[in-house]
């Protein structure tokens, strides 16, 4: 049996960052990644979700300098984003959060990003094994004299690996995380009460399509809100390389169309007998937004992604959980519910939580992990969870109200009393609602399962 200090389940950005930092701080670190084939990668690699946008301040949250990011992973510099409601649009050129990255952000090649993290981890001395999945983990809390506890991991090829620390980085599917954490929850409680992939996740679908020159905006992100039903359900366009854009959408899993008034939503039709599939939604969006073009003017680019230019993934869309660090376990990235469907953002959270877990495991002080990620990412979680809560039941008219008010209120990214006065009662209501909701999530109130609830 192979023995390592830190074993990591899953080799996405979270797991690879954990391996990188664990190795850099002197631990033996092994990543086990089940491996997924892609049209744009000539070997098996992690399940890179290929819709990748990075905002300026996320670079700081990942604890990178802007110069650390290799040029070859950046596809486009971004200047701003448009949030388009049924009749109001909010345009922003500034995230309004201090950042060392000079532009609004960048769109990047996610498979190359993941491959770069892997190279860094391997250069630091970590081992990255791809092609077999972890099928079971057994934890022995009694340790073996030199190790505080041991985890025995079984691979699909029958091999076993033993480690002192376990980093769970298996993404929002939580193929291993669920069983591992359940053993520490009392009675019949299960981690799926909090992080059931059917309810805690959204589904994201995207297509790579060429876009006619005169409507392609290569430096802007575009989001349409109030067009399709469901909590945080929206289509988007991310610029990619050349004239190619990734056109996709995010929506909750398992919606029932009869819960919605079809006439209220621009992308539904009266005769829909179910929620449209991702591809259908995208065709409807393009027809609606660019009526002077036919769908054939946006040809699918088939040599990208995972399935003829299209990709479907789950995305974690919930509040994060703490880890049972007393058992030598850290849950990181998407597995901990630490990403947000609200703005698709998660790579920054994945990288930072991974880095922290890897470093603290290597230094034998994993018990500091929960407070460390809250210190590093608490403001980001508070913002995301607050926004998702505030807009939870928004319909098309609410989005128009919000975008119209925010457009007047934000004054190019700055809250000021002057702008509040100018936007009148509507702006006051918006700021008050946001702040009062935020108060409920402050100081770690966004955590949905605390370490104290585990029996370790
Ligand atoms: C369509 C879409 C668009 C997105 N856009 C953005 C964006 O623009 N910007 C952004 O920051 N974030 C974005 N995200 C979110 C981002 O992709 C996630 O936050 C990020 O991938 C989480 O990283 P992770 O390492 O935690 O998990 P993942 O990237 O999901 O990696 C988990 C890995 O674990 C492996 N694995 C799972 N089970 C096992 C097992 N049993 N044994 C071995 N290996 C296993 C999987 O193969 C996978 O490679 C997007 C997500 C989606 C779905």
**DSSP symbols for 69-119:** S-GGGEEEEE-EEEEE-SS-EEEES---S--SSSSSEEEE-HHHHHHHHHH
Residue range 405-418, pLDDT digits in tens: 777 666 444 445 44
**Most informative mutation of 47, 78, 118 for ligand 1 (most atoms within 8 A of CB):** 47
87 domain-assigned = no
Q: Output the residue whose Cα is nearest ligand 1's atom 15.
A: 346
CA 209 – CA 244 distance, rounded (Å) = 5
Same domain for 432 and 345: no
Same domain for 301 and 379: no
CB of 315 closer than 6 A to ligand 1? yes
Same domain for 137 and 15: yes
Ligand 1 atom at minimal distance to the Cα of residue 315? 53
CB of 348 closer than 6 A to ligand 1? yes
Same domain for 400 and 379: no
Spatial neighbors of 345 by CB under 8 A, at least 6 apart, are: 53, 55, 58, 339, 384
Q: Which domain holds residue 310?
A: 201-315
CA distances to 49, 241, 301, 349 from 298, in Å: 22, 15, 9, 33
Same domain for 300 and 324: no
Q: In DSSP terms, which residues pair with 53 in a beta bridge?
A: 107
Same domain for 395 and 350: no
Ligand 1 atom at minimal distance to the Cα of residue 353? 26
47 domain-assigned = yes
Same domain for 135 and 39: yes
- In terms of DSSP bridges, do strands 80-84 and 89-92 run parallel, antiparallel, or are they unpaired? antiparallel
Q: Output the residue whose Cα is nearest ligand 1's atom 33.
A: 10
CA 28 – CA 30 distance, rounded (Å) = 7
Torsion region of 155: left, alpha or beta (phi above 0 gives left; psi -120 to 50 gives alpha): beta
Q: Output the residue whose Cα is nearest ligand 1's atom 3.
A: 51
What phi and psi values does residue 276 have, to the nearest 5 degrees?
Answer: -60, 150
245 domain-assigned = yes
- Measured in angstroms, how far is the CA atom of residue 333 from the centroid of ligand 1? 8
Look at residues 113, 111, 278, 112 and name the one whose alpha carbon lies nearest to residue 204. Answer: 278
90 domain-assigned = no
CA 269 – CA 317 distance, rounded (Å) = 27
Look at residues 283, 224, 287, 210 and name the one whose alpha carbon lies nearest to residue 81. Answer: 224
CA distances to 49, 283, 346 from 216, in Å: 23, 16, 26
CA 211 – CA 281 distance, rounded (Å) = 17
Residue range 171-183, pLDDT digits in tens: 988 999 999 999 9
Look at residues 110, 171, 112 and name the one whose alpha carbon lies nearest to residue 339. Answer: 171
In this structure, what token pair is assigned to residue 185? 């929850």
Report pLDDT for 135: 97
Give me the sheet containing 244-252, strands edge to edge.
89-92, 80-84, 220-224, 234-239, 244-252, 201-210, 310-316
Look at residues 313, 314, 357 and name the one whose alpha carbon lies nearest to residue 333. Answer: 357
CB 91 within 8 A of CB 126: no
456 domain-assigned = no
CB 305 within 8 A of CB 40: yes
Same domain for 148 and 36: yes
Count of domains forming the chain: 3
Look at residues 381, 387, 388 and name the one whose alpha carbon lies nearest to residue 338. Answer: 381
Spatial neighbors of 418 by CB under 8 A, at least 6 apart, are: 411
Q: In DSSP terms, which residues pair with 78 in a beta bridge?
A: 105
Spatial neighbors of 125 by CB under 8 A, at least 6 apart, are: 23, 24, 28, 29
Report pLDDT for 411: 45
Q: Mean pLDDT in runs of 10 for the chain (456 residues)? A: 97 97 98 88 83 90 97 94 92 89 94 95 98 96 86 97 97 93 93 79 90 96 94 92 93 92 96 96 97 96 82 81 97 87 77 98 98 94 82 84 73 48 60 78 88 93
CA distances to 328, 329, 451 from 142, in Å: 12, 14, 20
User: Which residue among 347, 368, 385 closes a domain?
Assistant: 385
Same domain for 225 and 155: no
In this structure, what token pair is assigned to residue 138? 């057994």
Same domain for 48 and 147: yes
- Domain of residue 28, CATH code: 3.50.50.60
205 domain-assigned = yes
What phi and psi values does residue 422 have, to the nearest 5 degrees?
Answer: -65, -35
CA 111 to chain centre: 15
In this structure, what token pair is assigned to residue 324? 């049972």
Q: Cβ–Cβ contacts within 10 Å for residue 62, how many?
A: 22
CB 46 within 8 A of CB 147: no
289 domain-assigned = yes
CB of 10 closer than 6 A to ligand 1? yes
The separation between the first and the last C-alpha atoms of the chain, rounded to the nearest angstrom, is: 26
Spatial neighbors of 123 by CB under 8 A, at least 6 apart, are: none
Ligand 1 atom at minimal distance to the Cα of residue 332? 26
CA distances to 35, 47, 291 from 225, in Å: 34, 28, 19
- CA torsion 65→236→172→302, rounded to 10°? -100
Q: Cβ–Cβ contacts within 10 Å for residue 442, how many?
A: 12
Ligand 1 atom at minimal distance to the Cα of residue 334? 26
222 domain-assigned = yes
Same domain for 381 and 259: no
- Measured in angstroms, how far is the CA atom of residue 84 from the centroid of ligand 1? 27
Report pLDDT for 414: 44
Same domain for 246 and 192: no
CA 450 to chain centre: 21
CB of 49 closer than 6 A to ligand 1? yes
């Amino acid at each position: 049996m192979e023995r390592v200090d830190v074993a990591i389940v899953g080799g996405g950005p979270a797991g690879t960052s954990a391996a990188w930092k664990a190795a850099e701080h002197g631990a033996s670190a092994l990543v086990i990644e089940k491996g997924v084939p892609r049209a744009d990668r000539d070997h098996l690699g992690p399940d890179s979700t290929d819709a990748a946008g990075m905002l300026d301040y996320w670079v700081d949250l990942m604890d990178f300098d802007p110069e650390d990011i290799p040029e070859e992973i950046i596809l486009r510099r971004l200047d701003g984003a448009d949030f388009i409601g049924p009749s109001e649009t909010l345009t922003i050129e500034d995230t309004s959060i201090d950042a060392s990255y000079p532009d609004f952000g960048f769109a990047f090649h996610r498979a190359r990003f993941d491959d770069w993290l892997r190279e860094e981890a391997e250069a630091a001395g970590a081992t990255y094994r791809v092609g077999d999945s972890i099928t079971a983990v057994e934890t022995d809390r009694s340790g073996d004299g030199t190790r505080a506890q041991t985890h025995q991991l079984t691979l699909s090829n029958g091999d076993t690996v033993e480690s002192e620390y376990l980093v769970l980085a298996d993404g929002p599917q939580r193929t291993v995380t669920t069983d591992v954490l359940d053993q520490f929850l009392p009675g019949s409680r299960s981690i799926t009460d909090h992080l059931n992939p059917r309810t805690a996740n959204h589904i994201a679908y995207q297509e790579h399509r060429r876009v006619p020159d005169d409507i392609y905006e290569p430096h802007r992100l575009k989001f349409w809100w109030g067009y399709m039903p469901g909590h945080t359900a929206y289509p988007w366009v991310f610029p990619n390389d050349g004239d190619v854009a990734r056109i996709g959408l995010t929506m909750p899993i398992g919606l029932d169309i009869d819960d919605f008034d079809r006439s209220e939503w621009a992308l539904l039709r009266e005769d829909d007998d179910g929620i449209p599939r991702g591809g259908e939604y995208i065709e409807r969006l393009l027809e609606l937004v660019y009526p002077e073009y036919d769908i054939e003017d946006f040809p699918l680019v088939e040599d990208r992604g995972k399935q003829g230019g299209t990709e479907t993934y789950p995305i974690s869309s919930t509040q994060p959980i703490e880890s049972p660090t007393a058992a030598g376990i850290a849950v990181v990235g998407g597995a901990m519910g630490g990403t947000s469907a609200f703005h698709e953002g998660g790579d920054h959270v994945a990288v930072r939580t991974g880095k922290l877990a890897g470093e603290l495991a290597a230094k034998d002080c994993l018990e500091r992990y929960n407070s460390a990620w809250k210190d590093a990412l608490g403001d980001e979680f508070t913002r995301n969870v607050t926004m998702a809560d505030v807009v939870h039941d928004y319909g098309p008219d609410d989005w128009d109200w919000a975008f119209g008010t925010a457009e007047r209120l934000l004054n190019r990214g700055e809250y000021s009393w002057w702008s509040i006065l100018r936007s009148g009662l509507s702006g006051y209501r918006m700021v008050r609602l946001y702040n009062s909701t935020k108060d409920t999530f402050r100081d770690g109130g966004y955590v949905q399962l605390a370490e104290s609830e585990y029996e370790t």
